[in-house]
């Protein structure tokens, strides 16, 4: 008995949506660590050793054990869902490398600002940068061993953040914790984008 022939076209798999996120924060806040802990590829790093020449301009108080610094960027990638890939760009933390930020920020959906509560003032510059450019961001408080723990609301008040800006606690060394940070900023950026599209008075 002849089998009826059925022509089935195999639809090509849809390309996953690729989104760009920045990972920012002060010197020694854990940006390189977070990108490395969550990236599914070997992260690209541009670290150099701290030198005696840099001592007058590199404030290492509170992070005395740090002996390297990012001089251009960190780069990593994580697939959050089958249809959603995040490309992570870690920014340099020191003022003298800030000329790179404008290039890195182009096309970014949002940003994570890593905070070290021992040096919370280091966050202000990154917070101001993203606020002025209208880039949605969240604060991720990196809970370093031995550092006093502060609840998110206390950090929010100390940084004078808008009520809608997410503040989460994290351990940048732990993949699931870092992944939660990224999910938080993606959801926040999506909410901000939807609010901007909504008609006035809706």
Greater pLDDT, 171 or 7: 171
Q: Is the pLDDT of residue 47 over 80?
A: no
Q: Is the pLDDT of residue 55 over 80?
A: no
Pairing of strands 47-49, 137-142: unpaired
Q: Is the pLDDT of residue 50 over 50?
A: no
Pairing of strands 74-81, 68-70: unpaired
Q: Which stretches within 80-173 are classed as H helix?
A: 101-105, 124-133, 152-159
Please determine, looking at this structure, whether the domain spanning 17-49+66-197 carries the CATH number 3.40.50.300. Answer: yes
Instruction: With cut-offs at 50, 70 and 90, classify the pLDDT of residue 198.
Output: confident
DSSP 8-class letter at 40: S
pLDDT tens figures, 57-71: 445 555 455 455 544
Look up the pTM and report it. 0.79
Query: Residue ranges per domain, the chain?
Result: 17-49+66-197
pLDDT tens figures, 156-195: 999 999 999 999 999 999 999 999 999 999 999 999 999 9
Torsion sign, CA atoms 133, 88, 69, 102 = negative
Contact 143, 149 (CB under 8 A): yes
Instruction: With cut-offs at 50, 70 and 90, classify the pLDDT of residue 27.
Output: confident
d(CA 165, CA 184): 10
Q: What is the pLDDT of residue 100?
A: 81
Q: Is the pLDDT of residue 44 over 60?
A: yes
Residues 68/76/151/124 CA torsion (nearest 10 deg): 60
Most confident range (mean pLDDT) of 7-21, 32-46, 65-79, 154-168 is 154-168
């Amino acid at each position: 008995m002849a089998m009826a022939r059925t022509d089935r076209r195999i639809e090509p798999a849809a390309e996953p949506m690729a989104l760009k996120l920045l990972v920012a924060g002060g010197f020694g806040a854990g940006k390189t660590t977070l990108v490395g802990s969550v990236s599914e590829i070997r992260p690209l790093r541009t670290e150099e050793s701290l030198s005696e020449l840099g001592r007058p301009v590199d404030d290492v108080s509170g992070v005395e054990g740090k002996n390297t610094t990012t001089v251009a960027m960190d780069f990593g990638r994580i697939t959050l869902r089958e249809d959603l890939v995040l490309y992570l760009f870690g920014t340099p933390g020191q003022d003298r490398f800030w000329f790179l930020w404008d290039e890195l920020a182009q096309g970014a959906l949002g940003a994570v600002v890593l905070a070290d509560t021992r040096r919370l003032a280091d966050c202000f510059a990154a917070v101001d940068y993203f606020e002025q450019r209208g880039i949605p961001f969240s604060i991720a408080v990196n809970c370093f061993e031995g550092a006093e723990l502060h609840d998110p609301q206390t950090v929010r008040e100390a940084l004078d953040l808008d009520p809608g800006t997410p503040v989460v606690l994290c351990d940048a060394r732990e993949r699931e914790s870092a992944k939660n940070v990224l999910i938080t900023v993606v959801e926040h950026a999506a909410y901000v984008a939807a609010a901007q599209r909504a008609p006035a008075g809706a």
